Structure 1
Amino acid sequence: MENQNNTNTSEIVEFKLPKMGESITEGTILNWLVDEGETFNEGDILVEVGTDKVDNEVPAPFSGILIEKKYQPKDVVEIGEIIATLEETSEQSPKKDQGTSTSEDQTEKPTQSKQLPKAPKASQKPKEIPQTWTPSDRHNNFYSPLVEQIAKDYHISYEELARIPASGANDRLRKSDIFKYIKAGRPAQFAQPASSQPQGFQLPDLKFDLGKGERIEMDRMRQMIADHMVYSKHVSPHVTAYVEADMTNLVNWRNDNKEKFQNKTGEKLSFTPLFIQAVTKAIQDFPKINSSLGDNHIIVKDHINIGMATALPSGNLIVPVIKNTDKKDLETLAKEVNSFAAKARDNKLNNDETKGGTFTISNVGTFGSLMGTPIINQPEAAILATGIIKKRAEVIEEDDEDKIEIRSMMYLSLSFDHRIVDGFLAGSFLRRIADYLEDN
């Protein structure tokens, strides 16, 4: 007689996009690793999803068959949306009252006979919004906190919000309206009013000759970098200040100690953790530089999290963040710098490791640049660029006499948001960083 406890059963499961980090509200489908009709085992990677700057692999919660994909690569999906239906195959358990519980981020498991709702196809072409638009009769400019947060996350200004068609009661802009607009590629992002009377500056419709050659499609990360850079230059009046630092003492100290440091700690000692230490001390002296701008107020952060701009093998840029640098010694900073650099090269950084920065350092000297004019990493108030350390003949004053010596010199440049930081604060902060580097 066949054992009833070993009877194979199956049930259909709605597979939802799981939570992928604090404040993450959506992801972009990058690649499906399992096709419809294919089987998979528990723990196999079903889909790759991109969120912000970090890519994530989503594993299968059980063994089964992929029945239907609800979204395709390049589709943008909200967290919690059903992205596929799966058929789970398992042996029937003799103890039905001991079902397995799942976390709130895992998928629900309805019975096989239950009719599953069809998720909307994100690839469905939304209604186009003309590049030349006529202001509508909608005068309801009240936006819910949720809509304002979405607009902030996507760097959408109030002017652009006013261009989005609203479907809510009393012409209220709804969450679905703004997501539909985002999925359409924000076609009215740079649209200008169709008016016979010019109102302020308008983007000229110039017909540039782009030339001929190979066309290379921008990948998702490059598109995001482009959006962030344009947004930063649009919202922040950038000003850049420069100083020159005599790095001779620091270079000699590092050369004398890097081998001993590595033997003691197992970590290589680059200049980056030394720069982070100097910047952290200067921020403690000038805390207002460690701030961001709210509606009508300045938020001076009560923590110091330093982002280190890191180039990827693809040529793109990512900014891992070292948290609470004021509470870490040189050994800990060096360990985290080396770990993040290795993770960036291998594309293994997670969302939390690229979030929460309050100030950013970009070491353009790594590429041989003498100096740079970096773009502020929003919503921070400033960003520091460190140039190449170069030996030069310098005039040194000693005992009231001038003499020429070979010194290791480096330019530092600070781009700052002039809405928050004035020239005196920026110059004093930048000079203080140089002083800490010179006094090593």
Structure 2
Amino acid sequence: MALIELKMPKMGESISEATIINWLKQEGEYIEEEETLLEVATDKVDSEVPAPCSGVVKQILHQANEVVEVGKVIAIIDAEATEGIAKTTTTAPTIVAEEKEEIKKVTVASEGFAVKNSGSPNTNGFLSPLVISIAQKEHLTIEELHSIPGTGTDGRVCKSDVMQYLKNRTYPVASRPQPTVQSPVSTYNAPPISYVEGKDQLIEMDRMRKMIADHMVYSKHTSPHVTCYIEVNVTNMVNWRNAVKKDFQEKYEEKLTFTPIFVEAVAKAIREYPMINSSLDGNKIIVHKDVNIGMATALPTGNLIVPVVKNADEKNLLGLAKNVNHLANNARNNALKPEEIQGSTFTISNVGTFGSLMGTPIINQPEAAILAMGIIKKRPEVITSPEGEDQIAIRSMMYLSLSFDHRIVDGYLGGSFLRKIGDELEAFDSNRTI
């Protein structure tokens, strides 16, 4: 009997665990190689996990809605069984010692993974939205969370670590030494919300909305946000795009939206101010070499996802347009791959799409800053003619707002970076060829 282990795949450098959504095959059922066996979800995206071989599903070790660490065995497949073998028992079969010796160690898309059981307090500072959510419900302080020995990748604290800690906690929280820095995990009891049965509507948050909520709360607790604004004259850019968009699509079979132009301007500004393209790891600032720009994108369900334009500073406008259109289409069709939403180093959010004049975006952790672009509107502006005379003219204007982490980005850097983006857009070459 050739038994193959199916392990929870690795779906990104920062992903240490995933939630099983549902199994498409049950124990005793036959499955073809590369056929989808189950669907899993992380705090970033849903993914399908294919079978590593053809055979019969012998044992399912974790059920739907369970959170499983990356690299952990989730199912066992009998590769020698043939199609049509019926399930002989309603309970999970027990694998005897002789069979265990024959199991081949196969990991799907997670080569090189190893669980690190440090046995010491968590020191890397990363806390997943799931862990934070549990901490909020149980009124754990941030000090307690960081004192929990983590068994996840690089010593990260997992759900099972927190639950084990709660089982063994025998002292009151107030008796622990209080940290000098106020805990970001609030113990504030929210006031009750009045509800009129039969009149008010109760809507259960779906899984993605819960993860977005946790991520946003975590960001506000983690980073001291500062937001600055500038107004930009984008008349040349708008006129150029309107003039060439038809020819651009006919020539390259790609739509030319404003997004690739914004991405291009941001990438140029990052080259001049690379410290904005950074993350904070404890007391160390990591300045990222790659310029990977995330695009906050609304899904048909109303939820939000951030596909990533990788190495944006190395692409021309055509390359950016192709990349942006591809990611936007995949987002609308719920077809984004895990690698397409990972690794962003800076994020932009076009709040003008919804008619907003400006916005105060929340930083996409663990990045240092995020840019919001407001709606482009024509309005009368006072301009200075080449002869030095003040005149009133119709111009296309928009607001840009930059939220940044004041722990690592000061006002000078944030303001200079934002002004550089504005200068790039205002100086857009209206004679540019496609």
TM range (shorter): 0.7 to 0.9
Distance change in 2, residues 1:414/1:320 (3 Å):
same
Which residue number in structure 2 is paired with residue 54 of structure 1?
Answer: 45
Which residue number in structure 2 is paired with residue 148 of structure 1?
Answer: 123
Shift of 1:289: 1.5
| Residues 146 and 175, structure 1, Cα contact 8 Å, conserved in 2 | no
| Residues 56 and 81, structure 2, Cα contact 8 Å, conserved in 1 | no
| Residues 247 and 410, structure 1, Cα contact 8 Å, conserved in 2 | yes
Deviations 1:4-57 (A, max 9, x none): xxxxxx654443323334453322101111123333333321100113312221
Aligned pairs for 1:255-334 (under 5 A) are 255-334=242-321
Indicate which of 390, 401, 413 corresponds to 1:425.
Answer: 413
Pairwise CA RMSD of aligned residues? Answer: 3.4
Does 2:205 correspond to 1:218? yes
| 1:114 partner SS | helix
Indicate which of 100, 120, 144 corresponds to 1:162.
Answer: 144
Distance change in 2, residues 1:206/1:15 (3 Å):
closer
Unaligned 5+ segments in structure 2 are: 83-94, 103-117, 429-434
Shift of 1:70: 1.7
Instruction: State the percentage of identical aligned residues.
Output: 54
Which residue number in structure 1 is paired with residue 92 of structure 2?
Answer: none
Distance change in 2, residues 1:301/1:112 (3 Å):
closer
Partners of 1:313 and 1:425 in 2: how far apart? 36
Aligned pairs for 1:32-431 (under 5 A) are 32-90=23-81, 114=99, 147-149=122-124, 151-152=126-127, 159-160=141-142, 162=144, 173-175=149-151, 178-181=157-160, 184=163, 193-194=173-174, 203-212=187-196, 213-398=200-385, 399-431=387-419
| Residues 12 and 342, structure 2, Cα contact 8 Å, conserved in 1 | no
Distance change in 2, residues 1:144/1:267 (3 Å):
farther
| 1:336 partner SS | helix
Distance change in 2, residues 1:247/1:187 (3 Å):
farther
Distance change in 2, residues 1:278/1:187 (3 Å):
farther
Which residue number in structure 2 is paired with residue 105 of structure 1?
Answer: none
Structure (1 or 2) with the larger CA radius of gyration: 1
Partners of 2:43 and 2:8 in 1: how far apart? 15
TM-score between both structures, scaled by the size of structure 2: 0.78
Distance change in 2, residues 1:86/1:197 (3 Å):
closer
| Residues 26 and 51, structure 1, Cα contact 8 Å, conserved in 2 | yes
| 1:42 partner SS | coil
Distance change in 2, residues 1:186/1:427 (3 Å):
farther
TM-score between both structures, scaled by the size of structure 1: 0.77
Partners of 2:327 and 2:74 in 1: how far apart? 31
Distance change in 2, residues 1:430/1:185 (3 Å):
farther
Which residue number in structure 2 is paired with residue 26 of structure 1?
Answer: 17
| 1:52 partner SS | coil
Give the count of matched residue pairs: 380
| Residues 164 and 181, structure 1, Cα contact 8 Å, conserved in 2 | no
| 1:249 partner SS | helix
Partners of 1:234 and 1:113 in 2: how far apart? 52
| Residues 123 and 146, structure 2, Cα contact 8 Å, conserved in 1 | no
Partners of 2:360 and 2:165 in 1: how far apart? 29
Instruction: Give 2:413's aligned amino acid.
Output: L
Distance change in 2, residues 1:145/1:307 (3 Å):
farther
| 2:99 partner SS | coil
Partners of 1:151 and 1:242 in 2: how far apart? 30
